Copies of this chain bind each other. A is one copy, B any other.
Amino acid sequence: MAIKERRARERAERERLIVRAARELAETEGWDAVTTRRLAERIEYSQPVLYSHFSGKDAIVAAVAVEGCAELATLLRAAAADVADPREAFAAVARAYLAFAAANPALYDAIFTLPSTLPFGTPEAPAPLHAAFAAIAEPATRSARVTGHDPGGYTELAWSALHGMVTLARTGRLRPDLDRPRIDAFNAVF
């Protein structure tokens, strides 16, 4: 029965290969360049193989997104780890969030902007999704308590502001020379 195990191992390995290839291709040439044909060529298999691992292209993007969520969660947690003051901790998380988005634009898109079928608010969402949201929500909630705001609304508002900055800046709708003042305003306001 060891043969079956080896097979399963090889399958899992190939699945990781697909996700990695999709991510790399997206990061270097953008998601538009991630087609099933190019992906298949990249992993040196034919197209249909992709569909034996994932239900479709969306599922591949979703897999990349989940992977990215896990990384984002650890990054945000690390940013907040050694900061005692709640507002300073949240500011550090915000900085880390923006840095992540700037460093991994395609990954960020996979998680937050591409029309995904990922169930976000629901309990059956993959664990990394919850982890990433918690890594934002917990520092935000602590900051809300200090500033005396409703934690839920405050958290989602702050997250919206971060997400809005990322997406508007990416499409050239925000002035780059206002990057600093914008973040200063964020820290002043939240």
Contacts and interface: CB of A to CB of B under 8 A. Distances in A.
The 9 tightest CB contacts between A and B, nearest first, are A153-B181, A164-B164, A160-B164, A153-B185, A161-B161, A163-B164, A160-B165, A157-B185, A153-B182
Contacts of A159: 164, 168
B163 A168 contact: yes
A160 B149 CA distance: 20
A167 B163 contact: yes
B153 A157 contact: no
Given A120-B171, A164-B164, A168-B163, A149 B185 contact: yes
12 contacts: A113-B113, A113-B167, A119-B172, A121-B175, A149-B185, A150-B181, A152-B175, A153-B180, A153-B183, A153-B185, A156-B165, A163-B164
Contacts of A181: 150, 152-154, 156
> Could you say how many copies of this chain the assembly holds?
2
A160 B168 contact: yes
A21 interface: no
A137 to B, nearest CB: 11
A51 interface: no
Q: Is the interface of A mostly helix, strand, loop or mixed?
A: helix
Contacts of A153: 178, 180-185
A182 B168 contact: no
A189 interface: yes
A103 interface: no
Contacts of A113: 113, 167, 171
B120 A157 contact: no
Contacts of A180: 153
B167 A152 contact: no
A59 interface: no
A151 to B, nearest CB: 9
